[in-house]
Amino acid sequence: MAHLPALISALSRIWLLDEAAAGVIGRKLREGGVISAAGRGSSAAVMTARDAAALLIGLASGVSPGRAPELVRQYLAMIRVGADHSDPDRSLLPRDVTAAPTFGQALEALVAFAGELYERFEVRAEAAFGPERWQALGERAPLAGSRDSPIVLEVELEFPSSARITLRPTSGLLWSCDYLVDISAAFPDGARPASDIGLGMAPSLRRGASFDFRPVLAAHFAVVGGDADV
């Protein structure tokens, strides 16, 4: 189980980020109450799947450190508005993922179950390709999330008001879900219209970003312990 510096290091390696710059984002999220805070050194807070989800959003967004807590908090709270599920027996995806009422809870569940998900999809992919071909594909492209991975995940952030998670096996769609800012929670007095939900963010933040399964799997192993070839 990792502390914040180890989680930052794991994600920086996957995304080829400057670790010092990523560390500034992480510290701002911790100071803003978005990531668990405790003491220092051996008494520092152990990171949870929720913390990892927050850091994934913060680093993927490219937002300035000062605005990171506000943006990440907004994304974590986005509510589920619709899903497309093509797994008939619902055997591949945990209900913690598919039934999560918010984007933050869905991403948290993906981090928590990433290792198990990869194993489930790998078994399915090996059956589809055949053991010999699947082994050859794995040797050529070992990165989870690559073209020949058994599982393809895309997490899309559309600033400042929506997000989408899409999961599919080697071909076809398995599950996709959209999330939006909860206007009633953000503006309970109804003072601001739905077309004005930027929460004071600069126009430069009104853009998109996305990430695949690799950082999610790296976050999983950093949080739960163990190691993976990602």
More confident call, 18 vs 62: 18
224 pLDDT band (50/70/90 cuts)? confident
Least confident of 95-104, 110-119, 145-154, 209-218: 145-154
Q: Cβ contacts of residue 192 below 8 Å, gap of 6+?
A: 186
Nearest to 186 by CA among 26, 75, 51: 75
- Work out the angle between the directed axes of helices 4-15 and 49-61 (0-180°, nearest 10): 40
| Contact in structure between 219 and 60 (CB atoms under 8 Å) | no
| Pairwise CA distance, residues 90 & 101, whole Å | 17
The angle formed by the CA atoms of residues 199, 75 and 56, to the nearest 5 degrees, is 130
pLDDT of residue 83: 81
Judged against a pLDDT cut of 80, whether residue 207 lies above it is answered with no
| 80: amino acid identity, one letter | R
Judged against a pLDDT cut of 50, whether residue 206 lies above it is answered with no
More confident call, 90 vs 24: 24
Claim: this prediction has a pTM higher than 0.85: no
pLDDT tens string 127-156: 665 666 555 545 444 444 444 456 778 899
HEC profile for 108-152? HHHHHHHHHHHHHHHHHHHHHHCHHHHHHHHHHCCCCCCCCCCCE
pLDDT of residue 159: 77
Greatest extent of the chain over all pairs of C-alpha atoms, in Å: 61
More confident call, 60 vs 83: 60
pLDDT of residue 202: 36
Mean pLDDT of 65-80: 93
pLDDT tens string 150-202: 677 889 998 778 999 988 765 566 788 999 987 665 554 544 433 333 333 33
| Contact in structure between 205 and 159 (CB atoms under 8 Å) | yes
| Pairwise CA distance, residues 127 & 198, whole Å | 46
| Contact in structure between 47 and 41 (CB atoms under 8 Å) | no
Domain ranges of the chain: 4-224
pLDDT tens string 21-38: 999 999 999 999 999 886
